[in-house]
């Protein structure tokens, strides 16, 4: 090179045509000399990255470093509802420009790109704001791609464990939105500006093309936008990806909703069992099975003030089951055949409230409503008993002159005993009839209460079920 340069100085007065030929020859010789070593090692040594600065690579500190972010959603590994956390696998891309790294590809055999270890230059401190824990299972990619114009790109897969605020009111027909916010934790918006590489339509299309479903969640769309996050009067630039997913509800319908509906129907059908003891045993068994489903639902849902509609349906159905059990206990106590409340007459207020008014509302026909104010007949106020007593007194009065006759006295005593025995038998018959009437009235009260509980049960469950369907379909 020195030789050619000396020759050029000595021939400075050459003609322009010869000078052009000489310069072309020098360019050709220079290319031949540069292409003598076409290795990446030669380029790396010429860049001298070992002495590169570890601070933000700008020639003027007022210049902002533009960092382009891109992400392609690959799959949702897990979405834990109880912890409200999501494990997401993505393909991540990040690019920025280092103003101190550049080269001319013509001087290095046309090399325009070079993979270099990340320890040789400055990198943005990328931070995911929703991340809850570091994941060591992500593949580690230590190499970055350098371009001849100073652009540095980093493409790698990421396994992210982040928070995901779940709205479970429509569970299991719910749609969820999980957000991933990429930004700097140290550099403010005056130093680093995060921008998305692609718009929402491109990001969504890329995600739809490669998304691997885990059967429980279906990807609806992915949107991206850049924003600023302000804290303590300091703003940080961010790129936010919103992931919209929908739950596949078939498993929950088969394992929770359909069994719960079957148990509710069985409990309603048990109201037609006339034997109250058998009905009570059956209802307790149904409540135990329903409680198991309620425990399974409670284990699936997170601890949140936002109660799902399905949980409200379960609680109301369980409350109605317990109410029907209490009513069954009460009606069983009313109709038991042993000496108890059923042997006593129905109180007047119960006759008026239940046998008269409530029976009419329940469309229950009975003949006791007309006689609710009639005074019960007892042995003391029985007219026939009074007539027998008067007849006994008359006999004793009329036969008073014959009291000296012993035979007459014996006959009179025998007649009195016969009359007294007849009175006792009559009194016992009257008491038995009264007890039978009281038992029948208590039985009617129990039937009316049963019908009332059944109608309330059906109305409540139907209204709640319709409300749940309306919430799910909106």
pLDDT in tens, 373-410: 444 444 445 555 555 555 555 545 444 454 456 777 77
* Nearest by Cα to 176 from 258, 69, 88, 90: 88
Question: What is the C-alpha separation between 153 and 224, in angstroms, rounded?
Answer: 20
User: Region 369-376: what's the mean pLDDT?
Assistant: 44
pLDDT value of position 397:
46
Confidence of residue 429 (pLDDT cuts 50, 70, 90): low
Mean pLDDT of the chain: 78
More confident residue, 18 or 234: 234
- Which helix (H) or strand (E) element contains residue 7? helix 2-10
As a CATH number, domain 53-248 is: 2.70.170.10
Q: What is the pLDDT of residues 57-84, one digit of tens each?
A: 888 888 999 999 999 999 998 888 878 8
pLDDT value of position 217:
87
- H-type helices in 230-308, by residue range? 250-252, 258-269, 276-300
- Decide if pLDDT at 34 tops 80: no
pLDDT cut 90: percent of the chain above it: 31
pLDDT cut 70: percent of the chain above it: 71
- Decide if pLDDT at 86 tops 50: yes
User: Region 342-366: what's the mean pLDDT?
Assistant: 62
User: Region 444-462: what's the mean pLDDT?
Assistant: 85
Helix (H, G, I), strand (E, B), or coil: what is residue 191? coil
């Amino acid at each position: 090179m020195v030789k050619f340069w000396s020759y050029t100085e000595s021939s400075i007065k050459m003609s322009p045509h010869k000078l052009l030929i000489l310069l072309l020859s020098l360019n050709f010789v220079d290319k031949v000399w540069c292409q003598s070593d076409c290795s990446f090692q030669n380029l790396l040594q010429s860049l001298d990255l070992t002495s590169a600065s570890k601070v933000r690579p700008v020639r003027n500190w007022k210049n902002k470093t533009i960092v382009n972010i891109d992400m392609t959603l690959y799959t949702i590994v897990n979405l834990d509802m109880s912890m409200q956390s999501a494990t997401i696998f993505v393909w991540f891309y990040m690019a920025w420009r280092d103003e101190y790294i550049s080269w001319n590809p013509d001087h290095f055999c046309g090399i325009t790109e070079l993979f270099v270890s990340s320890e040789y230059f400055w990198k943005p401190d990328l931070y995911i704001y929703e991340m809850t824990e570091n994941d060591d299972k992500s593949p580690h990619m230590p190499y970055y791609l350098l371009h001849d114009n100073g652009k540095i790109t980093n493409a790698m897969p990421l396994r992210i464990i982040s928070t995901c605020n779940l709205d479970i009111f429509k569970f299991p027909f719910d749609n969820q939105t999980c957000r991933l916010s990429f930004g700097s934790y140290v550099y403010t918006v005056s130093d680093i500006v995060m921008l998305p590489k692609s718009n929402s339509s491109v990001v969504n299309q890329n995600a739809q093309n490669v998304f691997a479903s885990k059967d429980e969640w279906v990807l609806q769309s992915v949107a991206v936008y850049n924003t600023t996050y302000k804290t303590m009067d300091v703003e940080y630039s961010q790129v936010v990806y919103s992931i919209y997913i929908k739950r596949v509800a078939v498993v929950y319908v088969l394992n929770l909703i359909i069994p719960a509906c079957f148990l509710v129907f069985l409990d309603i059908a048990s109201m037609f069992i006339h034997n109250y003891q058998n009905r009570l045993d059956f209802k307790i068994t149904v409540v135990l099975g329903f409680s198991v489903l309620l425990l399974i639902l409670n284990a699936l849902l997170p601890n949140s003030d936002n109660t799902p509609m399905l949980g409200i349906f379960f609680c109301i159905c369980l409350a109605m089951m317990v109410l029907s059990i209490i009513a069954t206990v009460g009606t069983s106590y009313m109709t038991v055949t042993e000496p108890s409340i059923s042997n006593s007459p129905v109180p007047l207020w119960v006759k008026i409230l239940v046998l008269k008014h409530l029976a009419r509302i329940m469309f229950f026909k009975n003949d006791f409503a007309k006689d609710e104010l009639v005074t019960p007949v007892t042995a003391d106020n029985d007219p026939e008993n009074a007539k027998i007593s008067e007849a006994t007194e008359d006999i004793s009065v009329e036969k008073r002159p014959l009291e000296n006759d012993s035979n007459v006295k014996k006959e009179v005593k025998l007649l009195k005993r016969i009359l007294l025995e007849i009175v006792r038998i009559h009194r016992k018959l009257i008491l038995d009839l009264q007890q039978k009437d009281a038992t029948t009235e208590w039985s009617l009260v129990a039937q009316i209460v049963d019908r009332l509980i059944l109608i309330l049960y059906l109305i409540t469950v139907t209204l709640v079920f319709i409300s749940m369907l309306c919430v799910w379909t909106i």
